[in-house]
Amino acid sequence: MTGRLRHKTALVTGAASGIGRQSAIRMAEEGALVCITDIDDEGLAGTLALMAGRGFSLHHDVTQEESWRAAIAMALERFGKLQILVNCAGIGVRNDNIAALEEEGWDRLMAVNLHGTFMGCQQAIACMRQAGGGSLINISSVLGLRGSADALSYCASKGAVRLLTKSIAVHCGRQGYNIRCNAICPGYIATPLGLSVRESLGDEEFQRLVDKHVVGRMGVADDVAGMVVYLASDESSFVTGAEMVVDGGYTAG
């Protein structure tokens, strides 16, 4: 632990698994107190066990406004302030192409990936103002930068998260809130969600995607967690409204 987040408090959604789990662990290692939330209670317990007692877990569905209120109220009660929010909860849906996707799938995905992120930012800003400032970190994707025939609603949600992020950053800056808001655009990361792409595309097509990462491998959750820690820390005090691409060169070529 080097204490880059000493005296800071955070809430991480989607923390039962993958990028959210690793981000919470890394933030706790850097000295933050972290409220970890998810709909997967068993996964949350697994994450908490790796955080050396530096936080607590909470069942929280990011699609529900009331659930957001309760999560933020609990973080405030336990920590006294909230300075960092990492909006990591996210899903994909089956048949995600313009010919096959049904409205129910579109709505379900948007509710988690986009509406959940919007509600989290809106509610966290009020608390962060009381704390004198903060850092909002939204997880977009390289599929928020590029289109994909097989990820219609996913691309639409992640592109929207990117511009939601910039719009929030400008608003907070103009209002003098001392709140930064940034997006991270990961490439393909070996998590349950990232690896589910192999099932839908098949081995050969999936390997073609992996080969597009010029570093020669898929990412791991820790690759993204390092960027989360940077954006959460005061080292990034001049960074807001940015889209931090962490993709092993996927979009470089």
Sign of CA dihedral 168, 70, 159, 188: positive
Of 230, 249, 153, 142, the closest CA to residue 194 belongs to 142
Residue 152 binds ligand NAP (CB under 6 A): no
CB of 186 vs ligand NAP, minimal distance in Å: 4
Residues with a catalytic annotation lie at 154
With contacts defined by CB under 6 A, how many residues of the chain interact with ligand NAP?
Answer: 29
- Residue 40 or 243 having the CB closest to ligand NAP: 40
Q: How far is the CB of 179 from ligand NAP (least distance, A)?
A: 21
Write out the H or E segment, with its range, that includes residue 246. Answer: strand 243-246
Rounded distance between C-alpha atoms, residue 189 and residue 219, angstroms: 4
Please tell me whether residue 94 adopts helix, strand or coil conformation. coil
First to last CA, the chain: 36
State in angstroms the smallest separation of the CB of 11 from ligand NAP.
Answer: 12
When the beta carbons of 131 and 143 are compared against ligand NAP, the nearer one is: 143
Q: Dihedral angle at the C-alpha atoms of 206, 108, 149, 253, nearest 10 degrees?
A: -60
Which is nearer to ligand NAP, 21 or 131 (by Cβ)? Answer: 21
Per CB under 6 A, does 134 bind ligand NAP? no
Query: Which of 38, 137, 153, 164 touches ligand NAP (CB under 6 A)?
Result: 38
* Footprint (CB under 6 A) of ligand NAP, residues 50-89: 60-63, 88-89
Structure tokens given for 249: 């060169």
Q: Is 100 exposed, middle or buried (0-12, 13-18, 19+ CB in 10 A)?
A: exposed
| E strand or H helix that includes residue 85 | strand 84-87
Nearer to ligand NAP, 5 or 110 (CB): 110
Distance of closest approach, residue 212 Cβ to ligand NAP, in angstroms: 13
The contact set with ligand NAP (CB under 6 A) reads: 13-14, 16-20, 38-40, 43, 60-63, 88-91, 112, 139, 141, 186, 188-189, 191-194
